[in-house]
């Protein structure tokens, strides 16, 4: 989720507090959320407004941020050297990886109209 919106003083709220309240509110049935938030925010109108903005965003996005529509790739097997991906990319080696994925050196091959092939190195993620 995006960083917390500024409160009335222009300072950012503690993200952990706001997101914790959002998460707990989402665990309550919609009909009980207002009572929960009233108790949890203890009269802090600015905090209540901020949490309600996130809840409104989650509702508009139909829970997209907490429940993505695409399946997780965590269970997918990692490509091995020599493996052909998408009938075009032959994996040469793993170059590196991190929080945003893994990068592989590969050979791109494509058939040319004259019957030959065009191959050159690429990096795939």
Domain spans, the chain: 1-70, 84-124
The 8-class DSSP code of residue 25 comes to H
Predicted confidence at residue 60, as pLDDT, reads: 84
Q: Among all chains, which residue has been given the structure tokens 């091959």?
A: 109
CA–CA separation, 5 and 34 (whole Å): 20
Task: Taking each helix axis as running N to C, give the angle between helix 15-27 and helix 30-41, from 0 to 180 degrees, rounded to the nearest 10.
Answer: 150
Digitized pLDDT (tens) for each residue of the chain, 125 residues in all:
444 444 444 445 588 899 899 989 999 998 999 999 999 999 899 999 999 998 998 888 877 766 766 666 666 788 999 898 888 888 999 999 887 888 999 988 765 555 556 678 888 88
What is the layout of strands, in order, in the sheet containing 84-85?
84-85, 89-98, 101-111, 117-124
Q: What six digits make up the tokens of 104?
A: 């592989």
Predicted confidence at residue 10, as pLDDT, reads: 40
CA–CA separation, 33 and 40 (whole Å): 10
Identify whether the C-beta of residue 91 lies closer than 8 Å to the C-beta of residue 109: no
User: H-helix or E-strand containing 116?
Assistant: none
Predicted confidence at residue 92, as pLDDT, reads: 92
Q: Find residue 96's DSSP bridge partners.
A: 103
- How would DSSP label each residue in 70-98? SPPSTTSPPP-TT-EETTTEEEEEEEEEE
């Amino acid at each position: 989720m995006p960083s917390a919106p500024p409160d009335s003083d222009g300072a950012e709220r503690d993200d952990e507090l706001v997101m914790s309240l959002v998460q707990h509110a989402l665990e309550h049935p919609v009909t009980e959320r207002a009572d929960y938030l009233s108790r949890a925010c203890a009269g802090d109108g600015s905090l209540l407004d901020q949490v309600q903005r996130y809840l409104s965003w989650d509702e508009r996005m139909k829970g997209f941020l907490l429940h993505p529509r695409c399946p997780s790739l965590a269970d997918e097997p990692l490509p091995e050297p020599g493996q052909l991906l998408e009938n075009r990319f032959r994996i040469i080696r793993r170059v590196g990886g991190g929080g945003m994925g893994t990068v592989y050196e590969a050979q791109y091959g494509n058939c040319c109209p004259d019957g030959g092939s065009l191959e050159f190195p690429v990096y795939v993620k």
